[in-house]
Amino acid sequence: MPNLRYHISLAALTIALIVLAVLCLLIGSVDISAGAVWDIICGRGAENKAWEIIVLQSRVPTIITAALAGAALAVSGLLLQTTFNNPLAGPSILGVSSGAGLGVAVVMLAFGGVIGSNSMGVSIGSYVATLLGAVAGAGAVLGVLMAMATIVKSNTMLLIVGILISYLTSSIVSLLNSIASEEGVHSYVAWGFGSFSGVSVEQMPIFATLTILGLAASALMVKPLNALLLGTRYAQNLGVDTKRARNRLLLITGVLTAVVTAFCGPIGFLGLVVPHIARLALSTSNHIRLIPATILAGADTALLCSLLSVSGNHGIIPINAITPVIGIPIILYIIINRRRINYFN
């Protein structure tokens, strides 16, 4: 029975992924006919060279970026929820995204590095610097959270610590803004809206490699993740070195969140919400099934956001204006039905 539900859910999520990807190929701010898109994808070219560039250098990279970023954020959320034994944990709510954002801000505002712009000629060095800044920022926040988790045992308190970290980072960013160049501030503000279209064809290999490695590493952690469902003491009694397992999980989370944040901006809610969508769909807490479903559901949700972002009448809607609209109703539903949803009890 549980197996049937799993296979049906996985099939549905995969079909949704394909449908959403195709829609993202066809729909954009420039109208291109389906036949022309098909010709371009098949390598037959198109009479309009601009269309070729739009499809191959904008739409295709955006689809890949959205799918990978969504999967990465969703898996980060799942790992955080299990590591901290807290269903409301997620990279944005715990301040991990803001930490990565602070790292980005330091690089962008203080050193003028640029990432996430389609402009040609951006040196590899500057986006690697931004990336490292994000990893350092996310890592620092995860370190603080880890230390606080051993002091404050309450789940709610840890969430408050995460919110405090977000406030602190945004105030530091404001301070940095006051000393930064106008160009730096502009690119930082644009980055802050969140976008899946910021990864250029040249940047794609490094973005894809890092996220895929992170996702693969998380799939290798199913055994300790399942043991951690029972809490620290039981996990240790099942042979898991919980300290080492938690450190590895936070390292994976940090890299995934940092890479996505560096390239796409601080995207909220996906990491918090998608693991719940996967649990509700599959009705299981077992990570062997939850991780593949979370990866697919994360990619689906991000593609849906990306699709909605180009469906406006006047240009592109920022991703961060869409994710709360999708995310908050689901979180409220989960909080209200806490007693009824079986994975809480």
What is the number of alpha carbons within 13 Å of residue 250 lying toward its C-beta?
23
Helix ranges, 180-286 (H): 182-192, 204-219, 222-228, 232-237, 242-264, 270-282
Q: Is 5 in the site for other proteins (CB under 8 A)?
A: no
* DSSP character string of 164-180: HHHHHHHHHHHHHHHHS
Q: Is 4 in the site for other proteins (CB under 8 A)?
A: no
Interacting span for other proteins (CB under 8 A) from 134-142, 226-234, 262-270, 301-309: 226-234
Interacting span for other proteins (CB under 8 A) from 101-109, 146-154, 215-223, 322-330: 215-223
**Which residues, 6 or more positions from 334, have their beta carbon under 8 angstroms from its beta carbon?**
87, 276, 280, 341
Per the listing, tokens 């295709």 go with 60
Q: Is 165 in the site for other proteins (CB under 8 A)?
A: no
Q: Is 234 in the site for other proteins (CB under 8 A)?
A: yes
What is the number of alpha carbons within 13 Å of residue 339 lying toward its C-beta?
1
User: In the complex, what is the shortest distance from the CB of residue 142 to other proteins, in angstroms, rounded to a whole number?
Assistant: 23
**Which residues, 6 or more positions from 26, have their beta carbon under 8 angstroms from its beta carbon?**
32, 34, 37
Of 66-105, binders to other proteins (CB under 8 A) are 85
- Tell me how many residues contact other proteins (CB under 8 A): 30
User: In the complex, what is the shortest distance from the CB of residue 52 to other proteins, in angstroms, rounded to a whole number?
Assistant: 44
Phi/psi for 292 (5° steps) reads -60, -40
User: In the complex, what is the shortest distance from the CB of residue 241 to other proteins, in angstroms, rounded to a whole number?
Assistant: 5
Q: Which is nearer to other proteins, 230 or 317 (CB)?
A: 230
Q: How far apart are CA 142 and CA 148, in angstroms?
A: 10
Indicate which single residue of 117, 156, 171, 237 sits in contact with other proteins (rule: CB under 8 A). 237
User: In the complex, what is the shortest distance from the CB of residue 300 to other proteins, in angstroms, rounded to a whole number?
Assistant: 21
Indicate which single residue of 208, 238, 328, 330 sits in contact with other proteins (rule: CB under 8 A). 238
CB distance 83 to 230 below 8 Å: no
Q: How far apart are CA 101 and CA 106, in angstroms?
A: 9
Q: Which is nearer to other proteins, 132 or 229 (CB)?
A: 229
Q: List the x/- string, 265-304, binding to other proteins by CB under 8 A.
A: --------------x---xxxx-x----------------
Footprint of other proteins on this chain (CB under 8 A)? Answer: 1-2, 85, 220, 222-223, 226-227, 229-231, 233-234, 236-241, 279, 283-286, 288, 341-345
